[in-house]
Amino acid sequence: MSLSGKVALVTGSSRGIGRGIVLKLAAEGVRVGIHYYRNKAAAEDTLAGVRRAGSDGVVLQADVTQAEQILGLFDRIRAEFGILDIFVSNARPEAPAFFEAPMKITLEQWNTAIHSQATAFLIGAREAADLLRDDGRIVAITYAPGGRTGGLQPWVAMGAAKAALETLVRYFAVALARRGITVNALSPGWTEDSVLNSLPEPAQAAIRDWHLQGWTPMGRLGTPADVGNVIVLLCQAQAGWITGQLIVADGGASLMNPEMPAALQFG
């Protein structure tokens, strides 16, 4: 079923995974709100890509760690489009703003993670609900392993924030179910042109090699387009019976057994 004529807001959509989502929605005829925090040029480049795909949109700036700016973001969507069909909560601060181990993390770093994920989703989902037509879609982009493991110590604040985000998804799914609005969380695996590319080159090389050598059964990392394709599927009318779920799109990486070397798991 076509998504043509629908309206979406995707936070953190000037580049990376958010950009991939926006471009896939635009290819389906969705008009989009392209949100950015600092990089207006990247957002405008994404808008140009949306127009090349045959749709249109608007560029919007906001700091999602600030409640009043989130409210302003939705005010601008209301003024521009009047309605909303799809809300994707994707924005995340750059790693230095939250990346620190539990014994060293500052309250400022902790609050940045929590406010940008759990609090931003709480406010965003409520504001979106006022604008969403019945049978609308809300999707939160998470990183599920970070919320249930503890090995990557400096991820503690974001892991806690993503766990809270995933819990909020379930509560909102129940709250909005009678209107046919679905609320789901999508957890991508390691993805090119995303946070991966902000890591030091040796770390990037090690992660790519680990996955190419077998930790991702499909033998590659994901792309923003892969994530965008899943969002498009969730936005279809035929997906209206899926709500409150954590959808993992990682090429099978989460199926691997962390207690055994990947080389021994392929029989």
pTM over 0.85: yes
Residue 205 lies in a domain: no
With a CB cutoff of 8 Å and minimum separation 6, the contacts of 37 are 12, 61, 62, 63, 64, 91
Once rounded to an integer, what is the mean pLDDT over residues 40-64?
Answer: 98
pLDDT at 64: 97
- Number of domain units in the chain: 1
Residue 202 lies in a domain: no
Please state, in angstroms and rounded to a whole number, the distance separating the CA atoms of residues 70 and 19: 19
Residue 95 lies in a domain: yes
Please state, in angstroms and rounded to a whole number, the distance separating the CA atoms of residues 267 and 230: 30
Please state, in angstroms and rounded to a whole number, the distance separating the CA atoms of residues 229 and 242: 16
Please report the DSSP string for 199-242 in residue order: S-HHHHHHHHHHIIIIISTTSS-B-HHHHHHHHHHHHSGGGTT-
pLDDT of 267 over the 70 cut: no
Residue 86 lies in a domain: yes
Least Cα distance to 152 among 195, 115, 184, 118 occurs for 195
CB-CB contact of 162 with 146 (8 Å): yes
Torsion region of 186: left, alpha or beta (phi above 0 gives left; psi -120 to 50 gives alpha): beta
Please state, in angstroms and rounded to a whole number, the distance separating the CA atoms of residues 127 and 51: 27
The DSSP secondary-structure symbol of 152 reads: S
Strand partners, 139: 88, 184
Once rounded to an integer, what is the mean pLDDT over residues 54-58?
Answer: 98
Residue 211 lies in a domain: no
pLDDT at 200: 76
Please state, in angstroms and rounded to a whole number, the distance separating the CA atoms of residues 234 and 28: 13
At which residue do the structure tokens 């992660």 appear?
A: 207
**Amino acid sitting at position 9:** L
Number of CB atoms found within 10 A of residue 89's CB: 30
Chain segment 173-201, per-residue pLDDT in tens: 999 999 999 999 999 999 988 887 777 78
Residue 214 lies in a domain: no
pLDDT of 10 over the 90 cut: yes
The CATH number that applies at residue 124 is 3.40.50.720
Residue 262 lies in a domain: no
Half-sphere exposure of 115 (CA within 13 A, CB side): 17
Token code pair at residue 229: 């394709």
pLDDT of 9 over the 90 cut: yes
Residue 213 lies in a domain: no
The SS3 assignment for 265 reads coil
CB-CB contact of 70 with 124 (8 Å): yes
Structural domain boundaries, residue 59: 7-194+224-253
Q: Of 249 and 201, which is predicted with more confidence?
A: 249
